[in-house]
Amino acid sequence: MRLTGADIVVNCLKDEGVEYIFGYPGGAALHIYDAIYNQGAVKHILVRHEQGATHAADGYARATGKPGVVLVTSGPGVTNTVTGLATAHMDSIPMVVITGQVPSGLIGDDAFQEVDTVGVTRPCVKHNFLVKDVKKIAETIKKAFYIAMTGRPGPVVVDIPKDISAETAEYHYPRKIEMRSYQPRTRGHGKMIKKSVELLLSAKQPIIYTGGGAILAEAEVPLTRLVDKLGYPSTSTLMGLGAIPARHPTFLGMLGMHGTYESNMAMYHCDVMLAVGARFDDRVTGDLDKFAPNARIIHIDIDPSSIGKNVSVEVPIVGDCKSVLEDMLELLEGVSDSIHRSAVDDWWETIKGWKRVDSLQYDMSDTVIKPQYVIQKLFEITKGDAYVTSDVGQHQMWAAQYYQFQKPRRWINSGGLGTMGFGLPAAMGVQLGFPDDLVVCVTGDASIQMCLQELSTCLQYNLPIKVLNLNNQYMGMVRQWQEFFYDRRYSHSYMDALPDFVKLSESYGHVGIRVDSPKEVESAIQEAISMKDRLVFIDVITDPEENVYPMIAAGKGHNEIHLKPSRGEIENRELA
């Protein structure tokens, strides 16, 4: 079958089973847009800004586990995707981004809407391609999906000049692809796995620390079985929430900069640490010199370069988290559960002492709305079943702390890059992936304004997202750091010209609700959820000076964690 390059692109997507493509047309992509017009298999979602397309595809990928697909034009179309590519790259999210390019003959001539796409995107993708021959399109797109989805996943860009999408070639989509230069390993090394099990069983003060890799590998079943079997305390990074249910008896909550007291203290004092698909990020480890000083570390990761990058590891295991954990469970089969549980009894007693500090406690108020309370209510009403996306800042931390994620892929946020503006477009991708489920975008008055234009996309495709805006009239996290570290000099963190979000939502064709009293919070959330076919924007006016606690200041150790000031006495006693 002889097809144009543009038709080949669309047929590849169809044969790859792509459901949605998020995009925005423009000159260099017009042949491909024409090919999209002539078919019905791949549904195109027209966004309002290319950054929105990448975040939407990213949200879709995080929630469904399938690759997110984007189509944009050359030049500004490409540069607008860069933030979305970097966001996906940092969190290892599989995406394929197809970009139009100026005709081959004009490349390098500073043509209209020309940018060196491969050069501009190179540092923020897993790989990228410039297709120079129409006969190579199908093979290149197959490679792009294969690279995006295997090994440590990530975004891949395929740049197609306009003349190449007009030329014709025989269409054949390869079923399988082999690359001599890219052969990711999935099975862990048997000897290392055996060693890890022995080390785990010898532990007196163990901790299981999981990250986003456990979610990407869909390792929740063997992971929870391992935690059940060993009865060891477990904690998770921001990216790993939901792999172990938040209400699991061994789960100590999130760790790191805004993690719970008990999880950070357990990390500091542990003797054996099992890291599962986590990368020892600085927001997790704090000061590396003070990081888990007595720990013997086992690290499972599919990316060899993650192992030993920030901390030295005694037992490195390169492999897919799910496969490695299954192999570990097999070795543990003959071991009686009760023996090692009693070995860590004292450890659990110590941890229970830390838990009594109740580090997530906050002061309730009858007059001002505490943001933590809003998230708690959201959790109670939705019973932990909602898909929650977020932007970046205080609201993100509160969502992570107070929404107890019981399932993987329910918590959708930009952890690595910390991209404000991610939440709303990501929620669009999630809602398209799960049209019958409740999707809530927890955001803030600063973040929401960074991709606000996507409210228009939500109307066009009837996406009944619930936007929960924790409106404190500040860039809350910036203000918090300025309060702590810059003597309350609130340099440019105050927003004194906020729009009326209710009217704004209404002008976009949605429902807006303003809440400014604590007693209205619950009913407002319920009312929003009851409007099943409408996007509802709930503008919640919160305490402007509330801070996120606990907090480990950047560059400090886990043992230097700060609790809410009124709890300082307990903190000091515990630290002593």
Partner 1 sequence: MKRIISLLLEHEPGALARVAGLFTARGYNIESLTVAPTEDPSLARMTIVTTGSDAIIEQITKQLNKLVDVVKLRTMSDGRYLGRELMLVKVVAGTPDQRNDMQRLVSIFRGRIIDVTDATYTIEMTGNSDKADAFLLALNDVELIEVVRSGILGIGRGKHILRV
- Please report how close the Cβ of residue 118 comes to partner 1 at its closest, in angstroms: 6
* 136 touches partner 1 (CB under 8 A): no
Of the candidates 74, 55, 61, 201, the one whose C-alpha atom is nearest the C-alpha of residue 130 is: 74
Cα–Cα distance measured from residue 344 to residue 336, given in angstroms and rounded to the nearest whole number? 14
Identify which of residues 63 and 275 has a Cβ nearer to partner 1 in the complex: 275
Task: Reply yes or no: is the peptide bond before residue 76 cis, omega within 30 of 0.
Answer: no
* 304 touches partner 1 (CB under 8 A): yes
- Tell me the window of 228-236, 306-314, 362-370, 517-525 that interacts with partner 1 (CB under 8 A): 306-314
251 given a catalytic annotation:
no
Q: Which of residues 178-207 bind partner 1 (CB under 8 A)?
A: 179-182
Long-range contacts of 223-230 (CB under 8 A, 24+ apart): 223/276, 223/321, 223/325, 224/248, 225/325, 225/329, 226/325, 226/328, 226/329, 226/332, 229/329, 229/332, 229/337, 230/200, 230/206, 230/332, 230/337, 230/340, 230/341
477 given a catalytic annotation:
yes
Could you tell me the CA-to-CA distances from 179 to 77, 135, 143, 185 in Å, in that order? 30, 18, 8, 13
Identify which of residues 91 and 543 has a Cβ nearer to partner 1 in the complex: 91
- Please report how close the Cβ of residue 447 comes to partner 1 at its closest, in angstroms: 27
Cα–Cα distance measured from residue 63 to residue 93, given in angstroms and rounded to the nearest whole number? 10
- The answer to whether residues 453 and 48 touch, using CB atoms and an 8 Å cutoff, is yes
Cα–Cα distance measured from residue 177 to residue 160, given in angstroms and rounded to the nearest whole number? 20
* 119 touches partner 1 (CB under 8 A): yes
- Tell me the window of 72-80, 257-265, 303-311, 498-506 that interacts with partner 1 (CB under 8 A): 303-311
| DSSP states along 215-261 | HHTT-HHHHHHHHHHH---EEE-GGGTTSS-TTSTTEEEE-STT--H
Of the candidates 513, 497, 496, the one whose C-alpha atom is nearest the C-alpha of residue 505 is: 513
- Please report how close the Cβ of residue 32 comes to partner 1 at its closest, in angstroms: 22
127: left (phi over 0), alpha (psi -120 to 50) or beta: beta
Identify which of residues 129 and 402 has a Cβ nearer to partner 1 in the complex: 129
Task: Please calculate the CA angle 535-365-512 and round it to the nearest 5 degrees.
Answer: 15
Q: Which of 27, 103, 174, 308 binds partner 1 (CB under 8 A)?
A: 308
Q: Which of 118, 368, 553, 570 binds partner 1 (CB under 8 A)?
A: 118
178 given a catalytic annotation:
no
Identify which of residues 122 and 503 has a Cβ nearer to partner 1 in the complex: 122
Q: Which of 130, 197, 450, 551 binds partner 1 (CB under 8 A)?
A: 130
Q: Which of 135, 309, 514, 556 binds partner 1 (CB under 8 A)?
A: 309
229 given a catalytic annotation:
no
Cα–Cα distance measured from residue 177 to residue 15, given in angstroms and rounded to the nearest whole number? 14
Catalytic choice (162, 322, 370, 377): 162
333 given a catalytic annotation:
no
Of the candidates 397, 347, 340, the one whose C-alpha atom is nearest the C-alpha of residue 372 is: 397
Identify which of residues 319 and 550 has a Cβ nearer to partner 1 in the complex: 319
Catalytic choice (273, 428, 475, 477): 477
- Tell me the window of 15-23, 40-48, 115-123, 407-415 that interacts with partner 1 (CB under 8 A): 115-123
Site string for partner 1, 70-109 (x = CB under 8 A): ----------------------------------------
Active site residues per annotation: 50, 112-113, 162, 477
Residues in touch with partner 1 (CB under 8 A):
118-119, 122-123, 126-127, 130, 147, 179-182, 303-305, 308-309, 312
